[in-house]
Amino acid sequence: MPDAASVIVQTHWDREWYFTNEKYTARLVRIFPSVLKSLDNGQINNFLFDGQTSALEDLIANTEPDVAQKVAAFIKDGRINIGPWYVMPDEFLCAGESLVRNLEEGIRVSKRYGESSFLGYLPDTFGHIAQMPRIFRGFGIDTAVVWRGVRIDDDVFEWQSPDGTSVTCLFLPEGYYQQPFSRLDYDQAVTRYFDTLSARSGRTPYVLTQGGDHLVPPDNLKDRIQRYNASQEKYKLYLTTLRGHIAEYCSRHSSEKPVLEGELRDNTNAFVLPDVLSTRRYLKRENQELEDRLIGQIEPLLAAADLGDLYPHHYLRETWKLLLQQHAHDSICGCSIDEVHREMMVRFRRIRDRLDGLQTLVSEYLGLTTPYLNRTGNPSPFADDRYITAFNPSPVANHGWHPLDIFLEGREASALEVKDETGTKYDTVLCCSKQHRAFSSPVDDFPEHVSGHLYELYVRSHIKGWESKCLTVEKSGGRPPDELTGTPAANIQNRYYTLSVSDTGIQIEDRETGQMIQSAISIISEGDAGDTYNFSPPGAPWTAKAQIVDCKTNCMGEHGSELDVGLRIVQPASLDADRQGASENKVVSHGRLKLRLLTDESFMRARLNWTNNARDHRLRMVMPLVDKVSSSRSDSAFSLIDRPVVYSEGRQEISRAETRVSVNPSYSYIRAGHVKLAHRAVQEYEILDNGASDSIAFTLIRSVGWLSRRDLVTRGVGAGPDFETPEAQCPGEDNFEFLISMSSNIEHGVTFKQATRFRRPALFLNGHGRITDKEIRLGVGDLTVSSCRQVGPEIEIRLFNPEPESQSIDLGSVDARYVMMSGDECAHQTSNTVRPGEIITLRIKR
């Protein structure tokens, strides 16, 4: 009796990759009528239009109306399957909240076309986060399909999130990109394919996902299947859907399925292409800044302001869609052609402008600012930041030093004072100032520039959840900021650390223990003969270390000081002609590292400005860990993950297999040994083996010149077409921000909560006003707030527990109910205890 096998007809449609979106859209418009023809004449029964609806929107917006009507009709009839994603994202490089909104938008679009049944389709993403089963279940999705990152002998397994939530998961051991029926020798190609599956597990029905990237099915597919079935007796093939295949498989194999827990990043069966975590890091920086501003500031501000009929539902949704388009895996990973990433930067600019517009909408609605010059009783549209309103967009109190940039008209201030409405002065650290011209455009008069100075400062305050405070900034006496410098050899300190510079580099002393860490922060470049997917050392490796060329200290008043270090690397300009060693030509790259200590903070605030003038290298910030470590801990969507140390293989010969994965993902927080660090979009790190001790390396820049190559010792075969990508060399200036602690005292240093506040600080708005009368002040322990937004007449707050112990939530006086991520009622949540790894969603009445 022949073995049964399912055939699913599909395409995987990257909106942009080795072509731009416009070229792919033109291709989609050209070829999709052939899909409709095959559906019309019965050559295919169903067509899986990837798992993302953004490509559907591209098609509908650009094809002829009669074609669009046919597509919509087939979707409604269940013959074209769409969703649940809006785009197929990279799961590690965007916020967990963005993954939720991605599904939310994809399902919204799908339901508009009549699709109502979804499975979690992830055929090509470069590994999978631990919380994906929990996210899918939050939308009522109980089944998923994956390929990369999985190591298991079975074809179906249970994939379990940290809180125990699981989904039934189909594993595609040979990947989704299979088109044997498109070949002239299809009968032999099909048999070879199923012979491979048969040798692997022998469990039927086997599955063939007929199709691939931007491909269409052969126009006589059903005829070919019938001829194939009649020509041999080993396999009998059936056209079906993924959901139909999984149901049939599970009915035949009803015994307990194996369980895989947490993250899936194993590369035994398929490449996971780990170094996309650091490729074109400028994209990651832009994305994280805008994600945090939208999720952590603008949405809470809109919700607090209670705009009523003026709430910009459509404008906000379109802003989200623009941001989500950036999260497509070949986009945010930086592994597309240069033209694609230029277009991404334009979209980032559009998103930033839209967020500015949303903030202005609230400011004008609440009367903090006005667009009118010629109306009495209003603040001037040209007003500077003398009057500002501080707003905590989180429902959880925020205590400590708050960073802000303000513009004041006129002469440069020697010092600044910040007071509240009662006249109480706030502790202030003035860091620096520079000349600036602010531009305003009233709606009833001419636009103008106003000349003054832009100041960078910190203000210390306790701001309750959703609280706003009216503050006044006044110029006062003291030395001008540009004169706040000390001697070149001086050090700085607070109660926790002493920072100094010597011949060996930057030294950090833990003042509690007396431990002195030499060469505590080093900037090191090494040759990289890889591509946008994988780092690969050249045959003759090289390294170059940044040298300190100057150092000065800046005294920023009684509450802060700064160590300002100039750095310089003399390094090879690029690889040599055969890409096996360093070019004889040298270039100089340079930067400034500023380390700040503020009163009572048990960590350093670090900023690195770096100018890269070299090609074909990897630049990393390296810190010693003093001892050997067995694991590190870093965050990804809705979780903190313990990661066993995996050292780099150091392979020297080209192989078709990818080297073991030694670099780790991090969204914003890392802990290893005595080092704790929060960062802004430095999303790749590695533990290095130094023999008696380890060190930790954070990838700052990867300079590579090829989308994909086939001569890497770390991979050996292509991961895409071989296009040159000179802009992936990332020449020029980039900026990096960190909070860093190096202390053996586990009670001190950077915490995950501080990492969240670092990325999503309090908001300071021009003008005076009250943001909201609604009090939402939650007691959350070690829970982390993911989002706070308005949904209909309610306020929605999402939180998660990243810790290994259960946490309690104190709702105070708010009238709240628990819902699923989809907004549907949540029957299983009956207490205010949040389990380890659990994600909860609250809806609060105004």
**Rounded average pLDDT over 561-580:** 97
Level-2 CATH architecture, domain 522-549+567-592+604-759 = Distorted Sandwich (2.70)
* pLDDT tops 80 at residue 614: yes
Please compute the mean of the pLDDT values over residues 193-218 and round it to a whole number: 95
Distances (CA, A) of 32 to 25, 72, 180: 10, 13, 20
Does residue 135 carry a pLDDT above 70? yes
Residue 467's pLDDT band, with cuts at 50, 70 and 90, is very high
Q: How confident is the model at residue 196, as a pLDDT?
A: 96
The predicted structure's pLDDT at residue 830 = 67
Q: Tell me, what's the pLDDT at 478?
A: 56
Contact 44, 38 (CB under 8 A): yes
The reply to whether 778-846 shares the fold of 387-484 is yes
Higher pLDDT, 477 or 607: 607
pTM of the predicted model as reported, rounded to 2 decimal places: 0.97
Given CATH 3.20.110.10, say whether it is the number of domain 3-269.
Answer: yes
Question: What pLDDT band is residue 770 in, cutting at 50, 70 and 90?
Answer: very high
Q: Mean pLDDT throughout 740-756?
A: 91
The CATH architecture of the domain made up of 778-846 is Sandwich (2.60)
Burial 597-614 (b: 16+ CB within 10 A, else e): bbbebbbbbbbbebebeb
- Please determine, for residue 43, whether its predicted confidence score (pLDDT) is greater than 60: yes
pLDDT higher than threshold 50 for residue 55:
yes
Q: Residue 360 phi/psi, 5° resolution?
A: -65, -40
Q: Which long-range contacts (CB under 8 A, 24 or more apart) does 65-72 make?
A: 67/32, 67/33, 67/36, 70/36, 71/32, 71/36, 72/113, 72/114
Domain extent listing, the chain: 3-269, 387-484, 522-549+567-592+604-759, 778-846
Calculate mean pLDDT across residues 34-58: 97
Fold of 387-484: Immunoglobulin-like (2.60.40)
Residue 482 confidence (pLDDT) above 50: no
Q: What is the pLDDT of residue 368?
A: 96
Strand order in the sheet with 428-440: 398-409, 448-463, 428-440
Checking if the pLDDT of 486 tops 60, the result is no
Quote the CA–CA distance of 308 and 515 in Å, as a whole number: 57
What is the arithmetic mean of pLDDT over 510-517? 92
> Residue 816 and residue 11: Cα distance in Å, rounded?
43
Q: Is 301 helix (H, G, I), strand (E, B) or coil?
A: helix
> C-alpha angle 71/77/79, rounded to 5°?
70
* CA–CA distances in Å: residue 5 to residues 90, 169, 198: 30, 18, 10
- Tell me what pLDDT residue 378 has: 82
Q: Name the token pair of 555.
A: 């005294």
Is the pLDDT assigned to residue 489 strictly greater than 70?
A: no
The predicted structure's pLDDT at residue 655: 83
In DSSP terms, 437 is beta-bridged to 451
In angstroms, the CA 660 to CA 648 distance is 7
| Predicted pLDDT of residue 654 | 82
Please enumerate in sequence order all residues whose Cβ is within 8 A of that of 22, keeping only pairs 6 or more positions apart, or say none.
none
Cα distance between residue 357 and residue 716, in whole Å: 48
CB 131 within 8 Å of CB 96: yes
Distance of alpha carbon 798 from alpha carbon 395, whole angstroms: 11
Predicted confidence (pLDDT) at residue 217 exceeds the cutoff of 70: yes
Q: What is the pLDDT of residue 484?
A: 47
Token pair of 627, please?
């001892």
Query: How big is the chain by its Cα radius of gyration, in Å?
Result: 28
Tell me the pairing of strands 586-598 and 560-572. antiparallel
How many alpha carbons lie under 13 Å from residue 777 in its C-beta half-sphere?
A: 13
Percent of the chain having pLDDT more than 90?
91
Share of the chain above pLDDT 70, in %: 98
pLDDT-based confidence at residue 479 (cuts at 50, 70, 90) = low
Q: Taking the CB of residue 475, how many other CB atoms lie within 10 A of it?
A: 17
3-state secondary structure of 580: coil
Structure tokens at 251: 């009915």
Residue 529 CB-density burial (10 A; 0-12 exposed, 13-18 middle, 19+ buried): buried
Task: Give the model confidence (pLDDT) of 71-102 as tens digits.
Answer: 999 999 999 999 999 999 999 999 999 999 99
Dihedral of CA atoms 207, 213, 217, 221 in degrees, nearest 10, equals: -30
Single-letter amino acid code for the residue at 367:
G
Per-residue HEC secondary structure of 229-284 comes to HHHCCCEEEEECCHHHHHHHHHHHCCCCCCEEECCECECCCCCCCHHHHCECHHHH
Query: What pLDDT, in 10s, does the model give residues 652-710?
Result: 788 889 999 999 999 999 999 999 999 999 999 999 999 999 999 999 999 999 999 99
Give the chain's mean pLDDT. 95
Residue (of 377, 383, 301) closest to 767 by Cα position = 383
Sheet containing 143-146: give its strands across. Answer: 120-122, 143-146, 166-171, 156-160, 259-261
Cα distance between residue 297 and residue 643, in whole Å: 31
DSSP 8-state symbol, 558: T
- Place 189 in a pLDDT band, splitting at 50, 70 and 90: very high
H-run or E-run covering 289: helix 281-293
